[in-house]
């Protein structure tokens, strides 16, 4: 027990609640940055065990067995699971700090359950099959006390060079923008891939274009970077494209919608 | 004149018809690869002169004054201008090879005007404000003769490591896929930027996410790379996002459409 008491506040021991896409990226990043992860919780035994093993932690699949001996509890759960589990998790240690990692969930999900509340939102797309460099990820922190905000800033700063304070309201906007810039963009990649596949062309030829499209907005505002038939007002090409999409009314509708947005913005 | 006759066929002298986004990137790439650009045509005097000066070429703003002394005529014009100018350009030198650079225009735009026809389509997004590395750009060539296809392959191979033959039909599909993966993606970046701006957040915080979204599909198929509320079936988050977009019915509609596509593909 003594060991717990002596842990410096800027180097808290951690319980990680979740073993999904974010957790499998966050746990090694925390561990590599010198944090001790005491325990990993997941309702799936295999996920809990394998992630715990990677970072030298214990694990459990039972919410009732979540350790009371951590200083900082970080949840990385599906947004629908968090409201159910938050009261259970927050009850295990009344002195500890409880933070979630979700863009769209308010900090006050902890209200009435934990005295020390916070959020640590790493804005990135995480997949289990792919390890990302946490050092490049913007992390947005929030807390209900200046001391804990400073603590979360200190923790986040060991993971990343880009750490910002953000309110619940700002984080919601960041997450919404991220859905457009990342999730919907990836959906467009999928459509492009389907179009190419239908014509026996490999998706790989699209990568230099995808890379340059992303690189371009590092130096030009997205509006200045816009090119293509809609930006040029090239009606003949757009009509031909719509005809090619005739067998996919959903894609055709999307083509119309986005071309109109580009055309309206280019005027 | 002698000088013209002795130019080896795999090192043709070039007339570049156009001085827009593609032309200002293509001309220096050709010039740096050792090709002689004899002349630049643009209807805009300033554009013609400044591009010509950069590559040590002559220039003209009059179609009637396009040089008859080039071996290879490359048009980089708005798709609407090409059908009008193609007959005029092709008439200046009956022995030369005439190629356009447009994804969605068939090779046979030259039919009845030029004996030697071709296409050289660099699939990339070009802006005047930004010089791109041609070495990374996939170039698709087509010709009405094997000899000229070989010539275009040789020319393209001096510019880029990625050169492919592609039919008019394949090129149309490539261009359509490119509109989704590049032009529409950039439109999503614009929406994300607008959302952030409305909440006084800088667009720059989005760049690591944009970069990773692009990098991810180098190693995962776009379907495997998909993340976000629609992929997880997170109805609460999607409902909250739709509410945040209430004052922008167009964005709301786009959010619904793309979330449904992702959700359908994730099942």
A107-128 pLDDT tens trace: 999 999 999 999 999 999 998 8
B38 phi, psi to nearest 5 deg: -75, -40
pLDDT in tens, A65-90: 999 999 999 999 988 889 999 999 99
In the predicted model, is pLDDT for residue B75 greater than 60?
yes
What's the rounded Cα separation, in Å, for the pair B254 and A253?
10
Q: What pLDDT is stored for residue B267 in this prediction?
A: 66
Q: Which residues from B are below 8 Å from A242, CB to CB?
A: none
Counting Cβ atoms within 10 Å, is residue B136 exposed (0-12), middle (13-18) or buried (19+)? middle
Is B79 an 8 Å CB contact of chain A? Answer: yes
User: Which option is the CATH number for A173-265: 1.10.1040.20, 1.10.10.10, 2.60.40.1180, 2.40.110.20?
Assistant: 1.10.1040.20
Q: For residue B131, what pLDDT is reported?
A: 85
The mean pLDDT value for B190-207 works out to 95
Residues in B 136-165 with any Cβ partner in A closer than 8 A: 136-138, 162, 164
Residue that wins the pLDDT comparison between A130 and A33: A33
Is the pLDDT reported for residue A43 higher than 50? yes
In 3D, which of A197, A179, A176, A199 has the Cα closest to residue A187? Answer: A179
- pLDDT value of residue B6: 40
Spell out which residues of chain A touch residue B209, defining contact as CB-CB under 8 Å: 123-125, 138, 178, 181-182
What pLDDT is recorded for position B9? 52
Provide the pLDDT for residue B5: 40
Query: pLDDT class for A129, splitting at 50, 70, 90?
Result: confident
Looking at residue B201, what is its pLDDT?
A: 93
CB of A246 within 8 Å of a chain B CB? The answer is no
B121 touches chain A (CB under 8 A): no
Answer yes or no: do B190 and A223 touch at CB < 8 A: yes
Q: Is the pLDDT of residue A7 over 70?
A: no
Instruction: Name every chain B residue with its beta carbon within 8 A of the beta carbon of A171.
Output: none
Contact check, Cβ <8 Å, A178/B206: yes
Residue A203 and residue B221 in contact, taking contact as beta carbons nearer than 8 Å: yes
Assign A242 a pLDDT band (cuts: 50, 70, 90): very high
In the prediction, which pLDDT does A167 show?
96
Res B213 pLDDT > 60: yes
Q: How confident is the model at residue B7 (pLDDT cuts 50, 70, 90)?
A: very low
In which element (H, E) is residue A59 found?
A: strand A58-60
For residue B2, pLDDT over 70 is answered with no
Pick the more confident residue, B10 or A36. Answer: A36
Q: Is A239 on the interface with B (CB under 8 A)?
A: no
Q: Does any CB of chain A come closer than 8 Å to the CB of residue B257?
A: yes
On the question of pLDDT at A64 being above 80, the answer is yes
- In this prediction, residue B233 carries a pLDDT of 92
- With a cut of 90, say whether residue A208 has pLDDT above it: yes
Residue A267: pLDDT over 80: no
Q: Which one of A102, A129, A176, A242 makes the best mutation probe of the B interface by having the most chain B beta carbons within 10 Å?
A: A176
**A139 sits in which H/E element:** strand A139-143
Helices A235-244 and B168-178 pack at an angle, to 10 degrees, of: 100
Rounded to the nearest angstrom, the minimum Cα separation between B7 and chain A is 33
Q: Among A112, A128, A146, A36, which Cα is nearest to A76's?
A: A128
- Write down the mean pLDDT value for chain A: 93
Distance from A117 to chain B by nearest Cα, in Å? 21
- Give dist(CA B32, CA B169) in Å, integer: 31
Which of A177, A189, A225 has the CB atom closest to B217's CB atom? A189
* CB spacing of A213 vs B181 below 8 angstroms: yes
Q: What is the DSSP letter of A65?
A: G
Q: Is A78 in Cβ contact with B205 (below 8 Å)? A: no
Distance between CA atoms of B178 and B184, rounded to whole angstroms? 9
pLDDT of residue B97: 98
- Does residue B10 register a pLDDT over 90? no
Q: Please give the residue that has the higher pLDDT: either A100 or A81.
A: A100
* Interhelix angle B45-54/B21-32, nearest 10 degrees: 20
pLDDT computed for residue B212 by the predictor: 96
Chain A residue whose CA is closest to B192: A177
What mean pLDDT is reported for chain B?
93
Q: Which residue of B lies nearest to A231 if distances are taken between CA atoms? A: B183
Question: Is the predicted pLDDT of residue A95 greater than 80, yes or no?
Answer: yes
Whether chain A has a CB inside 8 Å of the CB on B221: the answer is yes
Nearest C-alpha in A relative to B102: A237
Closest CA to B259 of B183, B234, A127: B234
Q: Which of B79, B80, B166 is nearest to B118 (CA)?
A: B166
* Predicted pLDDT of residue B125: 92
- Cite the beta strand spans of B34-79 per DSSP E: 37-41, 58-60, 72-75
Task: Report residue B78's pLDDT band, with 50, 70 and 90 as the boundaries.
Answer: confident
| Strands of A163-165's sheet in order across | A58-60, A37-41, A14-17, A72-75, A97-100, A116-122, A139-143, A163-165
DSSP state of A184: I
Query: What number is the average pLDDT over the span B61-76?
Result: 97
Q: Which residues of A touch B25 (CB under 8 A)?
A: none
Which among A183, A203, A244, A249 is the top mutation candidate for probing chain B, defined by the most B β-carbons within 10 Å of its own β-carbon? A183
Q: Is residue A2's pLDDT more than 50?
A: no
The pLDDT value given to residue B128: 86
Q: Which fold has domain B2-166?
A: Rossmann fold (3.40.50)
pLDDT at residue A6 is higher than 70:
no
ipTM of the complex: 0.91
Query: Could you tell me if residue B241 is left (phi over 0), alpha (psi between -120 and 50 degrees) or otherwise beta?
Result: alpha
pLDDT at A10: 59
What is the domain partition of chain A in residue ranges?
2-166, 173-265
- Contact between A155 and B242 under an 8 Å Cβ cutoff? The reply is no
3-state secondary structure at position B154: helix
User: Given this model, what pLDDT does residue A115 score?
Assistant: 97
Point out the least confidently predicted range of A210-214, B84-88, B233-237: B233-237
* Pairwise CB contact (< 8 Å): B241 & A207: no
- Residues from chain A contacting residue B192 (CB–CB below 8 Å): 177-178, 180-181, 222
- pTM check: above 0.80: yes
Domains A2-166 and A173-265 agree in fold: no
Q: Which of residues 13-42 of B touch A (CB under 8 A)?
A: 21
Q: Is the pLDDT of residue B4 over 50?
A: no
């Amino acid at each position: 027990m003594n060991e717990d008491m002596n842990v410096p506040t800027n180097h808290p021991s951690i319980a990680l609640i979740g073993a999904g896409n974010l957790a499998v990226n966050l746990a090694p990043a925390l561990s590599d940055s010198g944090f001790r992860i005491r325990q990993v919780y997941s309702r799936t035994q295999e996920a809990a065990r394998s992630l715990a093993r990677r970072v030298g932690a214990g694990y459990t699949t039972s919410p009732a067995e979540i350790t009371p001996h951590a200083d900082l509890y970080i949840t990385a759960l599906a947004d629908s699971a968090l409201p159910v589990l938050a009261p259970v998790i927050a009850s295990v240690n009344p002195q500890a700090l409880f933070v979630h990692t979700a863009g769209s969930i308010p900090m006050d999900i902890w209200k009435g359950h934990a005295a020390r509340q916070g959020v640590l939102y790493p804005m990135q797309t995480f997949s289990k099959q792919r390890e990302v460099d946490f050092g490049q990820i913007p992390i947005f922190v929030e807390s209900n006390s200046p001391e804990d905000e400073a603590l979360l800033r200190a923790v986040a700063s060991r993971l990343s060079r880009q750490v910002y304070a953000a309110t619940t309201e700002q984080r919601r906007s960041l997450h919404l923008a991220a859905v457009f810039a990342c999730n919907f963009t990836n959906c467009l990649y999928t459509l492009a891939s389907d179009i190419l596949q239908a014509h026996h062309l490999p998706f790989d030829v699209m990568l230099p274009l995808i890379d340059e499209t992303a690189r371009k907005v590092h130096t030009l505002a997205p509006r200045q970077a816009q090119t293509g038939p809609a930006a040029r007002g090239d009606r003949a090409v757009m009509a031909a494209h719509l005809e090619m999409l005739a067998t996919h009314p959903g894609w055709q509708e999307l083509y119309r919608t986005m071309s109109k947005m580009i055309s309206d913005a280019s005027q």
